[in-house]
C-alpha cells in the first residue's frame, strides 16, 4: 500500500520545528511494508488541512495525518476532517473519560477546552493513547484508512507502535526487505565508482547512498509481491556489497559507531577513558549514549584549558609551549594520560581547532589530532575537516570512534577501500567469528588527510 | 508571496534522512517575507517530481525544489522539470566550466557523469555555487519563479543565502515582523492559561507555542501590507508577553541557554567547570557549542564510575555508600569538587538515572540531581524527567544550564510564572541594565518536582 503522510502545524511549515515525527513514522511504516509515497505539510488552517486530505485520498491508498489534535484554538484537524468527509463531530464518552482521568492524574489544573479532544468525526474509531490525552483516530473512508495522530512525539510514537503499524501491516500484502550497510572512510563518489551498476542485477532492488557526517550508509530495499524472492535477492545484494566495499563497513542497520566500539570493548574486557579538548565532552557523550556503557566507560577528561591538560592529564608544559595544544605530541600525551590516570586499557584523545576563531596558516580551522593509547601501543593521526564548528566537532568524534574501533578489532588503522574481491573484515565480527578479523597488515603511517576525512560533505554533487 | 517547497529524495521520504534542509530554508525565506504555504516531499521518480511541480504551480506563487540535481542516475530533477515545462535540456558552457574546474580542484577522479550537471532546462538561469558543483537554477514560468537547488546542506545554504533570498525578497511587497521569546520552567498549558486570548488584540499577529525539551518558545508573527504598522504591533505584543510571562523567559530569538550562561559568566568575569555523571559530557559539550567559550569554560569532569567521582572530585566514599551516586550529597560534592579542583567560580554537577536500567523504587529512571557551587553558596535540586535515555539527558543538561543562569543573574533559583503584572527579570538583562536584575527574593527550598521539569512533554495535548 502506498500512503500519504500529512504533517499539520505552522511551527513545522515555518521551519521552527524540524519534522522528526515524519522521519520516525516513515521508518516505522517501512518495517510494516507500507511505503510512504507522498509527504505534505500544511499549516494550522482548516481549509488547507481539508485540501490536503482530499488530495491525499485521490492519489494514495491511505492517509496518516499528524498534528492539530490538541485542545487549543489552533488545533483544527478534527474539525477539518469532519467537514471534508461529511462526518460531524460527536462526543465520545470513552475518550472523554480518558481525557478527564489523565487531567486528574496530572494534578494540574487544565483548561476546560481539553475536553474538546473527545469530539470525534462520526464513525471514527478511537485508539486510546498509552502516553497522553489525545487519542489516535481511525476512519475508513471508501476502503481507504484515514488515521489521525497527535503531533507530540512520544504520544505519536506510542500510538503508532501500538495501533497504526499493526493495523497497516495487516492490510498490506507486499513483501519488502531492506538492509543498510554503514560505511565510514570513503567518499560517496568512491563507493559509487566501486559499486557501479551492480544493483541492476538485483531484481526489484534499489540502492540508496545516504551520506552524513557519520559516513555513507548504503541502503538496499527489495520489494515484490508477497511470496516472491525478496529475501533471497536481499541476501545476495548484501553479500555482493560486502565483497565490494566491506573494508569500510563498520555496522549494519541502525547500529551506531559507539555501539560497535562498546561491543568491541566488552569483547576484549577493556575499559576506556576519553580526553577531549575541541569536542569538549561530545565524544564521552556519544560513548555513553549507549545504555549500559558504564560497563566499559570509566571517565572522561574535558580539558579545555591548557592548565587542565597539564593538571588532569600530565601533558608537558614544554610541549604545549613548543608544539601548541593542537599538535600530535599533545594529543598523544592526552590519550596516554587518560588511560593511565583512569587505569583503563584504552585512552582516546581529541584536540583541534573547531573554529570559527583560533586558526593559523599552519593549523587552519578544522585541523584535528586524534590519538589512541592502549597497552599494545599508541597512534596519532592528523585530519582536516571543512564545515562549521558543529560539523568539525561531530566529524572529530566520529573519526575518533572509528579509529578506536579499528584498533580494538585489529584492523588497519586508516580506512580505505580495498581491491575487490575484498575481505569483509571491516565489519565488526560477531563474537563467535572474531578470529576472522584481519590483523593490521600495512604500516599505519600518519598522513595529512585520510579518506575518512571528507571535506566536501563526502559526496560529489547531490 | 506564498510559495511551495518540494523536497526530492527517497532518503527523505523513507525517513532515513531528516529534512533539516526544509526547516533551514523555510526560516531563511521567512526573513525575506516569503511565506511557505505548502511543503511536499516526493521520491526519486521523474513522474512524481513532475506531478509535484504541476500541482505546486497551480496553487502557489512560486516553487522551490530541493534535491536530485547531482550526477548519479537517481538525480532526476532536471529531467523531470524539463519535461513538465517543455524546456528541453541544453548544455550550459559556463556551468560545464565550473563543474570541470571544481573536479580538477578537488584532486579526486570523478566520474564523467558529473558533467551532466551542466545540462539545464532551456531558458534556465544558472546560479554558480560558491560551495559545490551543482548550480542553483531559476526558471520563470508564466511569471512564477521555479527555483531548483541541490540537496547537499552546505550547497543549498550557500545558494539560498547568496541568490534565492535576495531574489525573492525583491519580488515580494509584504511586511512581516517576527520575534520569539524563549521560556523555560512553565508548561505550555500554564503559559496558554496566562496568555489566554490576548493575541486577538494584536492586529495581524499570530502567536505560536513551540514546545521542546529546551522549553516552550513563544513565536509571534505579524504580517500586513508593506507600510502597515507591523513593527509597532510586534513591539506592543512583545512588551505585553514579557509582562505576562517574563519571569520564565530566558532568551529572545535564536539565542540559546548556553549562550545566555556564557554571557552571564563573562559579565561577572567568572569561569566554570562541570562535573557530570549521567549526562557524561553533554553539559560540557553544550557549554562549548558556543564559539569563544574558552574564555569562561575551564574544564569538565565526566565521572561515570564511582572511582572517578572519588579520585577526580573528592566525593566521599562513605556518602557514595550511604546515599548512592544519585543523591543530593553526591551532587553537591561533585559541584564543589569541580569548582575547587578547577579553581573557578562556578561548578555545575549532574548525577542521575538516565535509564533504561538502573532505576529503583526510591530513585526511578529519570531521577536527576543538579547542584551548583559558587563562592556565594551552594544549592542542589532534585528532578524527575519522563522519557527516553536521550530525553532525560537532554532535559538534565538544559535544567542545569537554567539553574546556572538563574544563579548567575541573581534570579530566584526555581522557575515559576509570577503574578502579572510581573517583572521581566527572567530575561537576561543587557549588560548595560544589569542593575535591573532581580535578586533572589524567596527561599529556594528543594522540592521533589519543579515546574521546570515537565514530565509529559511540557504540554497537554498537541
Mean of the pLDDT values across residues A199-206? 90
List chain B residues with CB under 8 Å of A456.
106, 132
- Is B320 domain-assigned? yes
d(CA A19, CA A12): 6
- pLDDT of A440: 34
- Mean pLDDT (whole number) for B93-106: 85
Instruction: Pick B323 or A209 by higher pLDDT.
Output: B323
Look up residue B170 and give its three cell numbers: 525583491
Local confidence band at A461 (pLDDT 50, 70, 90 cut-offs): very low
Average per-residue pLDDT in chain A?
Answer: 87
Mean pLDDT of the region B71-76: 83
Measured between alpha carbons, how far is residue B462 from residues A400, B381, B405, B456 in Å? 40, 29, 29, 11
Residues A279 and A379 in one domain: yes
Q: Is residue B391 part of a domain?
A: yes
- For B8-56, how does the pLDDT look when each residue is reduced to its tens digit (9 = 90+)? 999 899 998 899 999 999 989 987 778 899 999 999 999 999 999 999 9
Tens-place pLDDT, residues A68-125: 998 877 889 999 999 999 999 999 999 999 888 887 776 666 667 778 889 999 999 9
Give B299-330 pLDDT, tens digit per residue: 999 999 999 999 999 999 999 999 999 999 99
Minimal Cβ distance to B19: which of A19, A281, A461: A19
Question: Is residue B250 assigned to a domain?
Answer: yes
B150 and B8 in a common domain: yes
**Chain B closest CA to A436's CA: distance in Å?**
31
Query: For position B449, what pLDDT does the model report?
Result: 35
With cell 500519504, the residue in question is: A4
Q: Is residue A445 part of a domain?
A: no
Alpha-carbon gap: B282 to the closest alpha carbon of chain A (Å): 5
Reported as type and span, the H/E element at residue A102 is: helix A93-106
Nearest CA in chain A to B305: A298
Beta carbons of A364 and A355 less than 8 angstroms apart: no
Question: What per-residue string of b and e applies to A185-208 under the rule 16 or more CB within 10 Å gives b?
Answer: bbbbbbbbbbbeeebeebebbbbb
- Per-residue pLDDT at B427: 53
Rounded to the nearest integer, the mean pLDDT of chain B is: 87
* Distance between B242 CA and the closest CA of chain A, angstroms: 21
pLDDT at B114: 79
Is the backbone of residue A335 left (phi > 0), alpha (psi -120 to 50) or beta?
Answer: alpha
- What is the predicted pLDDT for the residue at A116? 85
| Residue B459 domain flag | no
DSSP state of B191: H
Greater confidence, B329 or A458? B329
Least confident span in A46-55, A98-107, B74-83, B268-277: A98-107
Q: B17, A39: Cβ pair inside 8 Å?
A: no
Q: Contact A443/B115 with Cβ under 8 angstroms?
A: no
What share of chain A has pLDDT > 90, as a percent?
Answer: 64
Distance CA B324, CA B310 (A): 13
CB contact under 8 A, B192 and A117: no
* Whether residue A75 is found in the same domain as residue A222: no
Q: What's the CATH number where B381 sits?
A: 3.90.950.20
Residue A17's CATH number: 3.40.980.10
Together in a domain, B336 and B357? yes
The pairing of beta strand B62-66 with beta strand B89-91: unpaired
Q: What is the pLDDT of residue B178?
A: 84
The predicted structure's pLDDT at residue B189: 85
pLDDT at B440 over 50: no
Which grid coordinates are listed for B299?
574544564
Q: Which of B24, B154, B285 sits opposite A281 (nearest CB)?
A: B285
What is the interface size between A and B, counted as CB pairs within 8 Å?
A: 322
Q: Do A114 and B460 touch (CB under 8 A)?
A: yes
Contacts with B10 from chain A: Cβ below 8 Å:
206, 208
**Could you tell me which residues come within 8 angstroms of residue A445 by beta carbon, excluding any fewer than 6 positions away?**
none
A427 in a domain, yes or no?
no
Query: What is the rounded CA–CA span in Å between residue A184 and residue A343?
Result: 30
Radius of gyration over every alpha carbon of chain B, rounded to an integer in angstroms: 26
Q: What is the mean pLDDT of residues B68-87?
A: 91
Q: How many CA atoms lie within 13 A of A143 on its CB side?
A: 6
Nearest chain A residue to B43, by CA: A37
Please report residues of A whose CB lies closer than 8 A to that of B106: 456
pLDDT band at A433 (very low <50, low <70, confident <90, very high): very low
pLDDT at position B140 is 95
Cβ-based neighbour number of residue A253 at 10 Å = 12
Q: What mean pLDDT do residues A288-308 have? A: 97
**Whole-number pLDDT of residue B13:** 93
Same domain, A138 and A232: no
Q: Do B217 and A16 touch (CB under 8 A)?
A: yes
The answer on pLDDT for A334 being more than 70 is yes
Using a pLDDT cut of 90, give the percent of chain B over it.
65
For B38, the closest of A11, A42, A459 (CB atoms) is: A42
Average pLDDT of span A225-245: 92
Q: Report whether pLDDT(A459) > 70.
A: no
Boundary-marking domain end, from A154, A171, A188 = A171
- At residue A409, does pLDDT exceed 50? yes
What burial class does residue B316 get, using C-beta atoms within 10 Å of its C-beta: 0-12 exposed, 13-18 middle, 19+ buried? middle
pLDDT at A286 over 80: yes
The reported pLDDT for the residue numbered A109 is: 64
Summarised one tens digit per residue, pLDDT across range B193-232 is 999 999 999 988 888 887 787 899 998 988 887 778 889 9
pLDDT at A320 over 50: yes
Q: What's the pLDDT at B107?
A: 65
Domain that holds residue A30: 2-171
CB B189 within 8 A of CB B239: no
Which CATH number characterizes residue B240's domain? 3.30.70.2860
Residues pairing with A369 in the sheet: A351, A382
Please tell me whether residues B19 and B163 are part of one structural domain: yes
Whether residue B386 sits in one domain with residue B421: no
Mean pLDDT of A8-27: 92
* Locus of grid cell 579499528: A406
The residue of chain A with its CA nearest to that of B178 is: A14
Q: Is the pLDDT of residue B445 over 50?
A: no
Together in a domain, A18 and A42: yes
Residues A374 and A228 in one domain: no
Residue A360 makes CB contacts below 8 A (sequence gap 6+) with none
pLDDT at residue A429 is higher than 60: no
pLDDT-above-70 percentage for chain B: 89
Does the distance separating the beta carbons of B134 and A462 come in below 8 Å? yes
Of A252, A267, A302, which closes a domain? A252
pLDDT at A417: 82
Residues contacting residue A294 through CB under 8 Å, at least 6 positions apart: A288, B304, B305
Per DSSP, the residues of B153-168 read: HHHHHHHIIIIIHHHH
Mean pLDDT of A14-41: 90
Phi and psi (nearest 5°) for A180?
Answer: -130, 130
Query: Is residue A32 predicted with pLDDT exceeding 90?
Result: no
> In the prediction, which pLDDT does A424 show?
46
- The answer on A386 and A337 residing in a single domain is yes
Which of A218, A221, A287 is closest to A246 using CA atoms?
Answer: A218
Best residue of B279, B301, B302 to probe chain A, by most A CBs closer than 10 Å: B302
Q: In this predicted structure, what is the pLDDT of residue A416? A: 82
Nearest to A294 by CA among B354, B318, B313, B332: B354
pLDDT at B436: 35
Sign of CA dihedral B70, B73, B75, B80: positive
Interior angle at CA B288, CA B372 and CA A446, nearest 5 = 135
Q: Report ipTM (2 d.p.).
A: 0.71
- What's the domain count of chain A? 3
Task: Give, in degrees to the nearest 5, the angle at Cα B153 between A405 and B33.
Answer: 150
Q: How far A290 CA lies from chain B's nearest CA (Å)?
A: 9
Taken as a whole, chain A contains a residue count of 462
Distances (CA, A) of A405 to A190, A251, A259: 22, 11, 10
Segment A344-368 shows an average pLDDT of 95
In this structure, the answer to whether residues B179 and B320 fall within a common structural domain is no
Comparing B132-141, B158-167, B348-357, B442-451, the range with the smallest average pLDDT is B442-451
pLDDT at A434 (0 to 100): 34
Which residues in chain B touch residue A193, judged by CB atoms under 8 angstroms apart?
109, 111
Same domain, B97 and B239: no
Is the pLDDT at B453 greater than 50, yes or no?
no
Q: Which residues of A touch B276 (CB under 8 A)?
A: 281
Is B458's pLDDT higher than 70? no
Distances in Å between the Cα of B18 and the Cα atoms of B10, B12, B26 are 11, 6, 15
Strands of the sheet containing A215-225, edge to edge, are A205-212, A215-225, A174-183, A249-252
Q: Specify whether the backbone of A170 is left (phi greater than 0), alpha (psi in -120 to 50) or beta.
A: alpha
A86 CB contacts (<8 Å, ≥6 apart)? none
Q: Which residues of B touch A70 (CB under 8 A)?
A: 459-462
The whole-number pLDDT of residue B387 equals: 82
Domain final position from B122, B146, B171: B171
B108 confidence band (pLDDT: 50, 70, 90): low
Is A448 a member of any domain?
Answer: no
**Closest chain A C-alpha to B431 CA, distance in angstroms:** 24
> All 3 cell numbers of residue B243?
509582562
Query: Tens digit of pLDDT for each residue in B230-241?
Result: 899 999 999 999
Could you tell me where the beta strands, DSSP code E, fall in A253-393? 272-276, 297-303, 346-352, 367-374, 377-384
Is A432 contained in some domain? no
A137-173 pLDDT, tens digit each: 999 999 999 999 999 998 999 999 889 988 987 787 6
Amino acid at each position: 500500500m502506498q500512503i500519504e503522510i500529512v504533517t499539520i502545524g505552522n511551527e513545522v511549515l515555518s521551519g521552527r520545528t524540524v519534522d522528526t515525527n515524519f522521519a520516525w513514522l516513515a521508518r516505522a511504516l517501512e518495517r510494516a511494508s507500507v511505503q510512504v509515497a507522498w509527504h505534505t505539510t500544511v499549516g494550522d488552517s482548516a481549509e488547507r488541512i481539508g485540501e490536503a486530505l482530499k488530495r491525499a485520498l485521490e492519489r494514495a491508498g491511505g492517509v496518516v495525518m499528524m498534528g492539530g489534535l490538541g485542545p487549543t484554538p489552533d488545533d483544527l484537524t478534527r474539525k477539518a476532517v469532519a467537514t471534508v468527509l461529511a462526518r460531524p463531530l460527536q462526543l465520545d464518552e470513552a475518550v472523554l473519560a480518558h481525557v478527564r482521568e489523565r487531567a486528574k492524574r496530572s494534578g494540574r489544573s487544565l483548561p476546560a477546552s481539553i475536553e474538546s479532544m473527545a469530539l470525534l468525526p462520526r464513525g471514527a474509531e478511537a485508539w486510546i493513547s498509552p502516553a497522553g490525552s489525545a487519542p489516535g483516530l481511525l476512519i475508513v473512508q471508501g476502503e481507504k484508512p484515514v488515521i489521525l495522530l497527535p503531533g507530540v512525539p512520544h504520544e505519536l510514537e506510542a500510538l503508532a507502535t501500538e495501533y497504526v503499524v499493526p493495523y497497516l501491516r495487516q492490510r498490506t500484502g507486499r513483501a519488502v526487505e531492506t538492509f543498510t550497510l554503514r560505511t565510514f572512510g570513503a567518499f560517496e563518489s568512491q563507493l559509487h565508482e566501486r559499486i557501479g551498476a551492480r544493483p541492476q542485477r538485483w531484481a526489484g532492488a534499489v540502492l540508496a547512498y545516504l551520506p552524513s557526517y557519520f559516513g555513507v550508509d548504503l541502503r538496499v530495499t527489495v520489494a515484490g509481491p508477497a511470496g516472491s524472492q525478496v529475501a533471497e535477492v536481499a541476501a545476495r545484494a548484501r553479500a555482493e556489497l560486502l565483497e565490494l566495499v566491506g573494508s569500510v563497513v563498520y555496522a549494519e542497520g541502525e547500529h551506531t559507531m559507539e555501539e560497535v566500539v562498546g561491543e568491541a570493548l566488552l569483547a576484549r574486557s577493556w575499559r576506556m577513558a576519553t580526553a577531549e579538548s575541541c569536542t569538549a565532552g561530545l565524544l564521552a557523550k556519544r560513548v555513553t549514549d549507549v545504555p549500559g556503557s558504564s560497563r566499559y566507560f570509566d571517565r572522561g577528561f574535558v580539558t579545555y584549558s591548557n592548565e587542565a591538560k597539564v593538571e588532569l592529564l600530565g601533558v608537558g608544559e614544554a610541549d604545549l609551549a613548543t608544539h601548541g595544544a593542537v599538535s600530535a605530541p599533545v594529543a598523544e600525551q592526552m590519550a596516554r594520560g587518560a588511560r593511565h590516570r583512569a587505569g583503563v586499557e584504552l585512552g582516546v584523545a581529541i584536540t583541534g581547532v573547531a573554529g570559527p576563531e583560533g586558526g593559523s596558516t599552519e593549523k587552519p580551522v578544522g585541523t584535528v589530532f586524534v590519538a589512541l593509547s592502549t597497552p599494545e601501543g599508541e597512534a596519532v593521526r592528523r585530519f582536516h575537516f571543512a564545515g562549521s564548528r558543529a560539523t568539525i566537532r561531530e566529524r572529530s568524534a566520529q573519526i575518533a570512534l572509528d579509529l578506536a574501533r579499528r584498533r580494538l578489532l585489529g584492523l588497519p588503522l586508516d580506512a580505505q577501500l580495498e581491491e575487490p574481491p575484498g575481505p569483509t573484515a571491516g565489519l565488526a565480527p560477531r563474537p563467535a567469528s572474531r578470529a576472522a578479523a584481519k590483523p593490521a597488515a600495512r604500516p599505519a603511517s600518519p598522513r595529512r588527510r585520510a579518506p575518512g576525512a571528507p571535506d566536501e560533505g563526502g559526496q560529489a554533487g547531490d
